[in-house]
Amino acid sequence: MEFKNRSSRRKPMFDDIPSARWLDDSVWEKTRRRATDTVSTPTKSSLSSQKARGLSLPGDFVRRFFLRLKLGKSKQFLKEYIQRIVAFIKGIPSAPSKGVYIRENSRLALAVIICLLAVFVVPFTILKINDGSDASVAGTSTKTSTDATAPTNEPLFDIVKPAGRDLKKEEVFFDPQRKFAKFTDDVNGIPTIVSQQPIPEIYKTNPADGAAKIAKDFGAAELISIDGQQVYFGQDEKGPMTMIFAKNGNLVFVSTTKAVDKEALKVYVGNFE
């Protein structure tokens, strides 16, 4: 019995075609590249049909705009594009199927949406920005460009310091929220913090009495007279010392970070002016 081979015949390969064997590599490469370009490059007719529907390739609008900008024709390009948008809007009511019409002109529809957003959102944003504008204009705005509670180097009251102490602006820390100022110094080489604030209103008629009550709350119960100035002294069990007194309308706290000679601390406090 004879079995016939029923499988389909093999299609001839490129090399099997006699007329193709004469092509060398360079000619074959040019032929292949020309065929690829023919497939991948859109034809003029397809591009013109896209433009007729109001479509453009991705990024084509931006590319053409900057090209026209270089040539000094950007205004004309924008005018033409706006005319296309207007024509698209006018064509919506007369379109047989509005959904199909909008899909076919999707990029123009997107341009319309962006324009509408610009018309409504941009003015609203400008109004919001102007609402928080400079308060110096007619004094109508209560908002300022800086945070009123942020620490600064400019106390809102006159601070007191030891005579001869050259205190620079950047050395002073002022907390507007808690209304106190402070700076660092040293007594016999021991770092010392000097903080102060205006005497509270309830103690302004009797600053010495106010200093006594506040000093008691801080554990500075020992009363010392330094050149006629009433000063309250206290010492932490770990060593740091504190002296509290009223001077020129301020309540002053002098606190050392470690134990220091008490007489030297008294001399330091006595120099405040």
**What domains appear along the chain, each with residue ranges and CATH number?**
15-139 (no CATH), 169-270 (3.30.310)
CA dihedral 47, 49, 52, 55 (to 10 degrees): -60
Determine the average pLDDT of the residues in 138-151: 58
- Is the pLDDT reported for residue 138 higher than 50? no
Cα 88–chain centre separation: 40
Calculate mean pLDDT across residues 146-175.
Answer: 90
The pLDDT of residue 99: 81
pLDDT tens, residue by residue, 28-82: 454 455 545 544 444 544 444 444 444 444 456 556 656 666 566 667 767 777 8
Rounded to an integer, the average pLDDT of 236-253 is 95
Q: In this predicted structure, what is the pLDDT of residue 147?
A: 73
Question: Residue 89 has what pLDDT?
Answer: 81
> What pTM does this model have?
0.48
Q: What is the predicted pLDDT for the residue at 16?
A: 47
Contact in structure between 250 and 199 (CB atoms under 8 Å): yes
Task: Answer whether 187's CB lies under 8 Å from 264's CB.
Answer: yes
Helix and strand counts by DSSP (H, E) for the chain: 8, 7
When mean pLDDT is compared across 17-26, 39-48, 180-189, 263-272, the lowest value belongs to 17-26
Nearest CA to 231 out of 219, 218, 247, 244 is that of: 244
Candidates 217, 267, 272; CA nearest to 246 is 272
* Average pLDDT score over the chain: 75
Work out the average pLDDT over 191-215. 92
In degrees and rounded to multiples of 5, residue 196 shows phi and psi of -155, 160
Q: What is the dihedral of CA 175, 180, 184, 185, to 10 degrees?
A: 160
Greatest mean pLDDT among 15-24, 140-149, 258-267 lies in 258-267
Give dist(CA 188, CA 234) in Å, integer.
Answer: 18
pLDDT at 259: 96
**5-14, 65-74, 249-258: range with lowest mean pLDDT:** 5-14
